Structure 1
Amino acid sequence: MRGFLTALCLASCSLHVAAFLGFPWGSAESDWNLCASVDGRPCDCPDDVFEADRAGLDCSYRDIGYLHDGAVVPLRFKKVDLSNNRLRNFTATTFSSNNSHVTELDMAANLLSVIPPNAFVNLPGLLKLDLSNNEIQIITNDSFNGIANLSSLDLSHNKLHVFEANTFMLLPRLQRLQLKYNPVNFLPDSLFTGLFNLTHLDLTHLQLVALHNELFTDTTSLEELSLAFNELGSVPTKALFKLSPSLKVLDLSGNLFTELTSYSIYNMKRLHELYLRQLIYLKAIDDYAINECNNLRNLELQLLPRISFISSRLSYTRLETLPEGLLNWTLVKSLELSHNQWRCDCHMAWIKGSPVEKLVGENFYCSLPNRLRGSPLSQLKEEDFVCKASDDYPDPKQWGVVAVLLLVGVLASITTVAFLFYRRNGFLCRKTDNYSQLKAASRETITVVDSSAVSNTDAELNVA
Structure 2
Amino acid sequence: MLFTRQGPRSIDCAGRGLDNLPVGLTLPGGFSAVTFGENKLTEVKRGQFRWNTAATMLNLSHNLVATVESRALAGLPVLQTLLLDHNQLTGLNPEALQGVYELALLDLSFNRLRVLDPSLFVNTDIRVLLLSHNPLVKLDPMLFMFVPRLRRLDLSSMRSLRRLEAHAFSGLDQLEELRCGSGGALAEVHPAAFRDAISGEHLARLVSVDLAGNNLTGVSRDMLPWGRMEFVGVEQNPWTCDCDMAWAAGGALPHEDAPSFVCEKPRAAVGRPVSNLTAAEFGCQDGFVASTGFVAGIVVSTVAVAVVVAVVTK
TM over 0.5: yes
How far the C-alpha of 1:161 sits from its partner, in A, is 1.0
Name the SS for the 2:8 alignment partner: helix
The aligned amino acid for 1:104 is M
CA distances 1:77-108 after superposition (whole Å, capped 9, x unpaired): 110010000001111222112x1210000000
Q: Distance in 1 between matches of 2:91 and 2:39?
A: 20
% identical aligned pairs? 23
1:175 aligns with 2:123: no
How far the C-alpha of 1:203 sits from its partner, in A, is 0.5
Name the SS for the 1:225 alignment partner: strand
Name the SS for the 1:287 alignment partner: helix
Structure 1: gaps (5+ residues): 1-40, 311-325, 336-358, 360-464
Per the alignment, residue 52 of structure 1 pairs with 8
**Larger Rg computed on CA atoms:** 1
1:277 aligns with 2:246: no
Q: Distance in 2 between matches of 1:208 and 1:226?
A: 13
How far the C-alpha of 1:140 sits from its partner, in A, is 2.7
Per the alignment, residue 42 of structure 1 pairs with 2
How far the C-alpha of 1:281 sits from its partner, in A, is 5.2
RMSD, matched Cα: 2.8
Per the alignment, residue 286 of structure 1 pairs with 245
Shift in alpha-carbon separation, 1:86–1:264, aligned structure 2, 3 A: same
1:391-410 alignment, distance < 5 Å: none
1:265 aligns with 2:223: yes
Shift in alpha-carbon separation, 1:139–1:329, aligned structure 2, 3 A: closer
The aligned amino acid for 2:213 is G
The aligned amino acid for 2:187 is G
Higher relative contact order (CA 8 A, sep 6+): 2
1:208 aligns with 2:153: no
The aligned amino acid for 2:217 is T
The aligned amino acid for 1:79 is A
CA distances 1:177-214 after superposition (whole Å, capped 9, x unpaired): 00010011111111101212111000111121223323
8 A Cα contact 1:167 1:192, kept in partner: no
1:78-157 alignment, distance < 5 Å: 78-97=32-51, 99-157=52-110
Per the alignment, residue 278 of structure 2 pairs with 333
Q: Distance in 1 between matches of 2:176 and 2:252?
A: 18
Per the alignment, residue 66 of structure 1 pairs with 20
How far the C-alpha of 1:128 sits from its partner, in A, is 0.3
CA distances 1:48-89 after superposition (whole Å, capped 9, x unpaired): xxx422xx1000011111111221122221100100000011
Give TM-score, length-normalised by structure 1.
Answer: 0.54
Looking at secondary structure, tell me which structure has more helix per residue: 1
Name the SS for the 2:85 alignment partner: coil
How far the C-alpha of 1:307 sits from its partner, in A, is 5.8
The aligned amino acid for 1:141 is P
CA distances 1:221-260 after superposition (whole Å, capped 9, x unpaired): 0000012243332233202133442111111112222223
Per the alignment, residue 247 of structure 1 pairs with 206
Structure 2: gaps (5+ residues): 197-201, 281-293, 295-314
Per the alignment, residue 140 of structure 2 pairs with 188
Aligned length: 271
1:301 aligns with 2:260: yes
Shift in alpha-carbon separation, 1:220–1:244, aligned structure 2, 3 A: closer
Shift in alpha-carbon separation, 1:302–1:43, aligned structure 2, 3 A: farther
Q: Which moved more, 1:140-149 or 1:100-109?
A: 140-149
8 A Cα contact 2:239 2:261, kept in partner: no
Name the SS for the 2:193 alignment partner: helix
Q: Distance in 2 between matches of 1:182 and 1:222?
A: 21
How far the C-alpha of 1:217 sits from its partner, in A, is 1.6
How far the C-alpha of 1:306 sits from its partner, in A, is 3.8
CA distances 1:416-456 after superposition (whole Å, capped 9, x unpaired): xxxxxxxxxxxxxxxxxxxxxxxxxxxxxxxxxxxxxxxxx
CA distances 1:19-67 after superposition (whole Å, capped 9, x unpaired): xxxxxxxxxxxxxxxxxxxxxx233343xxxx422xx100001111111
Name the SS for the 2:192 alignment partner: helix
Per the alignment, residue 76 of structure 1 pairs with 30
How far the C-alpha of 1:216 sits from its partner, in A, is 1.4
CA distances 1:149-172 after superposition (whole Å, capped 9, x unpaired): 11100000000111123332332x
Q: Distance in 1 between matches of 2:85 and 2:230?
A: 29
